[in-house]
Amino acid sequence: MFFSDSAAAIYRRWLKSQTALACLAVLLFALSAAFCGLQLEPDYFWHVKLGELIVQHQSIMEADTFSWTAQEYPVTEFAHSWLGSVVIYLFSLLGRYFSYQHAGAILYELCFYAILFGVLLFVQRQDISDLGSDLTVSSLLAIFPALCTVTVSPRPQAMGYILFALTLYLLRSWEKRKGSVLRVYFLPLIALLWANLHGGTAPMMLAFCAGTLLVSFVRVEAGQFTFNETPRKRKIHLAAATGLSGITMLINPYGFKLFLYSFLYNNSACKEGIQEWMPATIYSGFGLVFLALFAVIIAFSNRKFTLVSIVPVILSGGLTLLYVRGTPYLGIAMSFFLTDSLARYTGDIGRPVKKGILWGVLLCISGLLLLYGGVHFPETRDTWEKASWHVSDTMANEIKSGHYKRLYNDYNTGGMLIYYGIPVFIDSRADLYPEEVLRDGKELSTLTGNPEEILTRYDFDAILVDTSSPLYDYLSINSKYHLEYEETNLALFEPNNRM
C-alpha cells in the first residue's frame, strides 16, 4: 500500500471537497451559459393558462376550451403534461414578484438547467473522479454533450430530460453492479412522475428499460463487443421494476391511452410543417456529431464494450434520426457513455491544469457571461416582445373589445392568445388539431394555397397576421378587408361586411 490510512483519509476528504468545488464551478458555468441563451416561446403561455385552469378547477377539462375550432372539428384536450403545466404555472406566479411579467419562464429555465447538470454530475461522480486529477476539467467533459444538445426552453419536456438522466443512472448502476440491486425499484416512481409531468414521452422510459433487459440475455464475443454475464437475480429485479414502471405509468388522467398518444395525435401535418417533429438531418447539429463520436470511440478503443452499456446511445440515436426533438436525449446518453469510456483508462488525461489557473479562468468566463446576460437582458426582452408571435397587452385588449367569435391566427401566436383568454383558430398544440385545419392555417399564412377559398370557408370575422407575412400584404390590398389595428409585429384586419 502506497499511503498510510491517515494519508488515504486525507486524500478522500480532498477528493470529496474537490468534487464539490468542481460541481459548483460547472453549475455556475452552466447557469451562466443558460442565462445568455434563454428562450421565451409560445408554448410557455398556453402551459401557464392550462396550469392555472387545473389549479382553479382542480380537474382536467376533457373538451378543448382554448380554440373556437373545437366547436366544429374534433379537437379534444389531451393534457398529457398536465402536472408539468401546473409546475410552469407556479413558476409564473413566482415571476410576478419581478419587474418583468414573464420572469417565471426565466426562473424555470435556470432552475431546470441547474437541476439537470447537478443530476448529471452527481450520478457520474465516480467516473468523474477516475478521469484525472483535475476534476473541474473532467466535470466539464462529463456534461459537455448535454450542454451542447439540451435546449433551454420553458416547457414540461425539460422535466423529462431530468427523469431520463435518473433512469439512465439506475440502469447503469444495475449493469455495473454498483450499489444495491434494489435501486432499480426507484424506476416505478420515476415512471409515475414522468407519466404526469410530460406523459407524451414517458413510454420511452419503458423502451430503454426493456431494451437493457433484453440485451443482457445476448451472448456475443465479437470485435469490440463482449458479453458480461448478469446474475439471474439482477435480471429478475430489473424485469419486476420494469413491469411495475408500466403499471405506475398507468396512473395518469388518460390511463392506457397515454401509450397511444404518439400514434393517435402525431399526424402527418405535424411531421411536415413543425421543425421539432421532423427527421434529423446533417443540419440538426450535435445529434449526428455525437453519433459519429460514438462510432469512433467504439472503433478505436482498446477496451471492449458490453452491449448493455451502449443500449442508451443506440436507442436515443435512433430517436434522433427519426425526430429532431430526440437530440437532447442523445446528448444526455452520450454524457454517460463519454465519461464511462474515458474513465476506463488509468492516469490523467493529458497534462493536469493547475487548479488555481483553471478556477480563475472558469470564474472569469462565468462572471463575464452573467454580466453579459444582465446587461443585455433589456435588449433580449425587446427581441422577445418584437417577435412575430408576441401579443402585447394593448393588442390583446383590442381583440377582446372586438368580441370576435372566429378569429384567425397563425400557429405561433395562438399560445399568447390563449394566455389572454382569447379563443384561437390554431396554436402550437398541433398534435390535437385535425390535419386539414393545420394545413389550411399554414397555407393561408404563407399564401401557398387558395387564400380566398380558405377565408370564405372558415368565415373569419377578424384576422391577426404577422406584419412581415405574405398574408399581411395580401389583405392590405384586398378591398374586402380593412386594417383595424396595427403594431410593429402584428396587424388586425376585419372583413368589411362584418356585422
Q: What is the four-CA torsion angle of 135, 138, 144, 145, rounded to 10 degrees?
A: -130
The dihedrals phi and psi of 456, each to the nearest 5 degrees, come to: -70, -40
β-bridge mates for residue 6, sequence order: none
Exposed, middle or buried, 143 (CB in 10 Å: 0-12/13-18/19+)?
Answer: buried
Rounded CA separation 40/281 (Å)? 25
Q: What is the pLDDT of residues 175-228, one digit of tens each?
A: 877 778 889 999 999 999 999 999 989 999 999 999 999 988 877 666 667 666
The dihedrals phi and psi of 384, each to the nearest 5 degrees, come to: -60, -45
User: Are the beta carbons of 396 and 422 closer than 8 angstroms?
Assistant: yes
> Among 289-303, 381-395, 408-422, which stretch is predicted with the lowest mean pLDDT?
289-303
Helix (H, G, I), strand (E, B) or coil at 486: strand
Mean pLDDT of all residues belonging to the chain = 83
Cell triple for 79: 393534457
Q: Is the pLDDT of residue 352 over 60?
A: no
User: Are the beta carbons of 390 and 419 closer than 8 angstroms?
Assistant: no
pLDDT at 283: 45
Rounded CA separation 184/186 (Å)? 5
Helix (H, G, I), strand (E, B) or coil at 404: coil
pLDDT at 431: 78
β-bridge mates for residue 465, sequence order: 491
- pTM to 2 decimal places: 0.89
Q: What is the pLDDT of residues 99-130, one digit of tens each?
A: 788 889 988 988 898 899 888 888 887 777 66
Cell triple for 261: 398518444
Q: What is the pLDDT of residues 36-47, one digit of tens each?
A: 677 788 899 999
